[in-house]
Amino acid sequence: MNILLLLIPLSLAFLGGAVWIFFWAVNHDQFDDLDTPALVPLDDSPRREDPPS
């Protein structure tokens, strides 16, 4: 059962990491508009250089 002492902290670390990544994504506008980005792949023309933001 000693393997638990390694695996459980590991799983908790993964959990914390996943939450952190998700929070980052939410804070960086990734979930604000779920409708518009669906259209981008339909566009054939080469994409204009994104301005630095």
Partner 1 sequence: MRPMCCQGCRAAAEWIEQLGLGGYYELRTAPAPKPDAALTHDSWRNADSARHVIRDLGEGLRETLLLIEGVRCSACVWLIERALGAAPGVVSVQVNAVSRRARVIWQDAKTSLPLLLQALSRTGYGALPLDARGLIDLRRNESRDALKRLLVAAFGAMQAMMYAAVIYAGAAETLDAASRELMRWLGLLVATPVVLYSAQPFFAGALRALKGRRVGMDVPVALAIAAVYAASVLEAVRGTGEVYFDSVSMFVFILLAARYLEMRARHHARDLTDALARLTPPFAERELDDGSFSRVGRHELRAGDRVRVAEGGIVPADGVLLSERCRVDEALLSGESAPVTRRRDDLLIAGSVLEDGPVLVRIERVGADTALAGIAALVGRAHAERPRLQLAGELAASRFVARVLTLTALTAAAWAIVDPSRAFTAAVAVLVISCPCAFALAVPAALTRALGALARRGVLVVKPDAVQALAECTHALFDKTGTLTETTLSLADVRTFNGGSHEAALRLAATLARQSRHPVARAIAAAHPGPDSAAVSDLTTHAGMGVSATIGGRALRLGRSDFALAGKLLAREYEDAVLLADDDGPIAAFRMGERLRSDACAAIAALQSQGITVLIASGDAPAKVASIAARVNVGGWCARMLPADKLAWLTELRAGGARVLAVGDGINDAPVLAGADVAIALAEGAELTQASSDIVLEGGRLEAIASARDIAKQTLAIVRQNQRWALFYNLAAVPLAALGFIPPWLAAIGMSLSSLGVILNALRIGRSDPGPRAQQDHAAPAAAWPRPAA
What are the residues binding partner 1 (CB under 8 A)? 1, 4, 8, 11-12, 15, 18-19, 22-23, 26-27, 29, 31-33, 35-36, 38-40, 42-45, 48, 51-53
25 close to 31: Cβ distance less than 8 angstroms: yes
Which residue type occupies 8? I
Shortest Cβ 6–partner 1 spacing (Å): 13
Q: Give dist(CA 3, CA 42) in Å, integer.
A: 49
